[in-house]
Chains A and B, each alone.
Chain A
Amino acid sequence: MKNIYKPIEGVLENIITESSKIKTFVIRPKERFDFKCGQFIELTLPGIGEAPFTPSSDPAVKEKIDVTIMNAGKVTSLLHNSPKNISLGIRGPYGKGYPLHKFEGKDVLIVGGGVGLAPLRALLFGLFADINKYNKIVFRYGARTAQDIIYKDQIPVWAAKERVDWLTTVDVGDPSWTGHVGLITTVLNDLPIDMKKAVAIVCGPPIMMKFVTLKLLDLGFAPADIYLSMEKSMSCGLGKCGHCRIGKFYICKDGPVFTYEELKDTHDIWD
């Protein structure tokens, strides 16, 4: 019988520096590994520990998985200092991803903050694969400073695509930055979307998700049309270890993508 805690082996083929604290790890799994955009994996640093991440690569690409990781804790700091070609463990994929079929025919507003752009990149690839199914994609991305922007070479390519409307803002400007300066909530007014047939997808740090959600409600989005990528201390990935519970949900199993409608009566979701 399958052991649910056993990771499969992946080789760390490449490490791409995205910013001073964020790197993308390119992993080649030794067994077939499928995931849907928005689902997460548990990545094991052998003998050290494991942590949950949502892959940032195109789910249609099977031979490698990109995982974009901020240096934030024990496992991630060791990963950031790790050499290439080591073996890593992969468990998953876990949870429910983005329900792409529900976005069809709609104006898709995506709001990303900081390293929250990572899971959204997988979503973008998923949307781009069938771009004609969606009315348009309006992307608003916020980073702390210009130096904190990730996927710097790719953003202009995505922004230039047909049906895509992209704006990047930074919280704090500097002489090198000629774009918009201001918190992410300041670029959500006068959006080029038809509120009657729009959905919003939000991913970023909890405080950003909270204020963006409040802003979107203010703009008239229905709670059921706001999709949030929640993150808690997911460990087993299967609703057994207990750590990622909020109210009656396990983030790992019932999420990590929830509509605000599902969560609005649950306490402390932004903590």
Chain B
Amino acid sequence: MNKVYFIATDKLSFLVERLRDNYTVFSPAAKPQNYTKEVDYSFQKTAAKDTLLFNPYRCVEPLKSFFTLAKEKAADYFACEDNLKDLGQVIIFGVKSCDIQAHRIQDFVFLEGAAEESLYRARRENTILISSDCTAFKEVCFCLSMDVLPHPTTGFDMNLSPLNDGFLAEIGSEKGQELVNNYPEYFAVAKDTQIAARLAKRNNLIERLKRELAPKNIPPTSIQQRLIKEGFSLDTWSQFMQTCVECGGCNLICDTCHCFLLEDRKSAGVNEKVKMWDSCLYANYARVAGGANPNKMRAQRLRFRFTKKFDFFFEHLKIPGCCGCGRCIEVCPGKIDIREVLKDLAKKLNLAQ
């Protein structure tokens, strides 16, 4: 059982003010209302006297954007020492459970396997993740369908659960505990009544989200891999691709998508390798020299995205490569909805619930 503390609302503001002396602090800021009339939140660098805003659901940007930048220098050549900028210590508030789940996948990609990426490792170590429970959800949210709860249970350094007069702060790592040890004056030991209140709030939201998702009939994780394997040759892929404009938005905003391209360039007379996010929906993603392209057809590219999410990651990590954050649904100008794709496969395979 993780340690749980209580921090009053005003004390949290003081704490953030103090943290800014030693860390770059990012926290959610409300964006102007979007077309869905929902308030969107965006990770912003907190400035002096900023009030810490609690985001009831996830931010617009994927958490991955703190660990792999959309485009950045990846290496110098040859014996030349890598000249990486001083990363500094970073604290991110407002991380949600879906982001944490997606982070497991990013960690798996960049820290495990054949080798570890040093830049990712450095950023990971220099960053403290302060997550928080969701207290509401967006129309596109479907974390429960991916077996992700709307509050994180692991993978955070500290998790905040809002109560009436403050927050419960659950410690998830040594980094989180150090934060309490370094600033003990702001934290009190949590009372059992407060922990019971947290549980009630959590269960209440889960029930509300379940009721919201029930009529949507999103295929459960238990059959998702089967849908992709057995639905490989269905016309679902070409049907849903009809409205794709190949912008790559779904990949770029996806918190679990990790594909990147390495490029070489000469900058101020010095050669360097540059790494940038890539999208499997782009026509040239899998093309090889000479022109052969295993994903020549648009439908193949959509299927490639889904086999990665719902076959590859089930195979290697036993979880789907989707955290149910719904960012790809919001961003798609072609209105391609990942939930609808899964539902269509289930319907055509007679596996619908």
User: Which residues of A approach B to under 8 Å, CB–CB?
Assistant: 1-9, 30, 44-51, 70, 72-76, 87, 89, 94, 206, 231-233, 235-248, 253, 267-268, 271
Task: Give the distance in Å from the alpha carbon of A238 to the alpha carbon of B118 in the complex.
Answer: 13
30 contacts between A and B (CB under 8 A): A2-B118, A3-B74, A4-B115, A4-B116, A6-B75, A6-B76, A6-B77, A7-B75, A8-B78, A9-B79, A44-B77, A50-B262, A72-B290, A74-B289, A75-B289, A94-B114, A232-B286, A235-B261, A235-B262, A238-B115, A239-B113, A240-B260, A242-B258, A242-B259, A242-B280, A243-B261, A243-B278, A243-B286, A245-B312, A253-B113
**Listed stretches B131-139, B263-271, B329-337; interface member:** B263-271
Residue among A73, A76, A238 making CB contact with B114, cutoff 8 Å: A238
Task: Give the distance in Å from the alpha carbon of A51 to the alpha carbon of B292 in the complex.
Answer: 15
Residue among A47, A50, A74, A242 making CB contact with B278, cutoff 8 Å: A242
B33 shortest CB reach to chain A, Å: 35
Instruction: Tell me whether A5 and B258 are in contact (CB under 8 A).
Output: no
Asked if B315 is an interface residue, CB under 8 A from chain A, the answer is yes
A30-B78, A94-B114 given; name 17 further pairs at CB < 8 Å.
A1-B116, A1-B122, A5-B275, A6-B82, A7-B77, A7-B273, A50-B262, A50-B264, A70-B290, A206-B292, A231-B288, A238-B114, A239-B113, A240-B113, A243-B285, A267-B232, A271-B293
Task: Give the distance in Å from the alpha carbon of A171 to the alpha carbon of B263 in the complex.
Answer: 37
Contact mask for chain B residues 203-246; partner A; CB cutoff 8 A; 1 contact, 0 none: 00000000000000000000000000000100000000000000
Instruction: Tell me whether B264 and A46 are in contact (CB under 8 A).
Output: yes
B120 shortest CB reach to chain A, Å: 9
Residue among A7, A73, A232, A238 making CB contact with B294, cutoff 8 Å: A232
B108 shortest CB reach to chain A, Å: 10
Q: Which residue of A lies closest to B290 (CB)?
A: A72
Instruction: Tell me whether B266 and A248 are in contact (CB under 8 A).
Output: no
Q: Which residues on A sit within 8 Å (CB–CB) of B286?
A: 232-233, 243-244
Q: Which residue of B lies closest to A207 (CB)?
A: B292
Q: Which residues on B sit within 8 Å (CB–CB) of A238?
A: 113-115
Task: Give the distance in Å from the alpha carbon of A241 to the alpha carbon of B273 in the complex.
Answer: 14
- Give the B interface residue count (CB, 8 A): 51
Instruction: Tell me whether A7 and B78 are in contact (CB under 8 A).
Output: yes
B248 shortest CB reach to chain A, Å: 13
Asked if B287 is an interface residue, CB under 8 A from chain A, the answer is yes
Q: Which residues on A sit within 8 Å (CB–CB) of B304?
A: 245
Task: Give the distance in Å from the alpha carbon of A244 to the alpha carbon of B315 in the complex.
Answer: 17
B53 shortest CB reach to chain A, Å: 34
A163 shortest CB reach to chain B, Å: 35
Q: Which residues on B sit within 8 Å (CB–CB) of A245?
A: 304, 308, 312
Are A4 and B117 also in contact (CB < 8 A) when A73-B289, A242-B280, A243-B278 are? yes
Task: Give the distance in Å from the alpha carbon of A126 to the alpha carbon of B304 in the complex.
Answer: 37
Residues of B100-125 at the interface with A, using a CB-CB cut-off of 8 Å, are: 109-110, 113-119, 121-122
Asked if B37 is an interface residue, CB under 8 A from chain A, the answer is no
Q: Which residues on A sit within 8 Å (CB–CB) of B122?
A: 1
Are A1 and B118 also in contact (CB < 8 A) when A240-B113, A245-B312 are? yes
Q: Which residues on B sit within 8 Å (CB–CB) of A248?
A: 311-312, 315-316
B121 shortest CB reach to chain A, Å: 7
Instruction: Tell me whether B75 and A5 are in contact (CB under 8 A).
Output: yes
Q: Which residues on B sit within 8 Å (CB–CB) of A232?
A: 286, 288, 294
B265 shortest CB reach to chain A, Å: 6
Task: Give the distance in Å from the alpha carbon of A95 to the alpha carbon of B184 in the complex.
Answer: 50
Instruction: Tell me whether A240 and B109 are in contact (CB under 8 A).
Output: yes
B316 shortest CB reach to chain A, Å: 7
Task: Give the distance in Å from the alpha carbon of A2 to the alpha carbon of B119 in the complex.
Answer: 10
Instruction: Tell me whether A3 and B259 are in contact (CB under 8 A).
Output: no
Q: Which residues on B sit within 8 Å (CB–CB) of A72?
A: 289-290
Asked if B173 is an interface residue, CB under 8 A from chain A, the answer is no
Q: Which residues on B sit within 8 Å (CB–CB) of A73?
A: 288-290
Residue among B82, B278, B294 making CB contact with A268, cutoff 8 Å: B294
B62 shortest CB reach to chain A, Å: 16
Q: Which residue of A lies closest to B73 (CB)?
A: A5
Residue among A5, A9, A51, A240 making CB contact with B273, cutoff 8 Å: A5
Asked if B24 is an interface residue, CB under 8 A from chain A, the answer is no
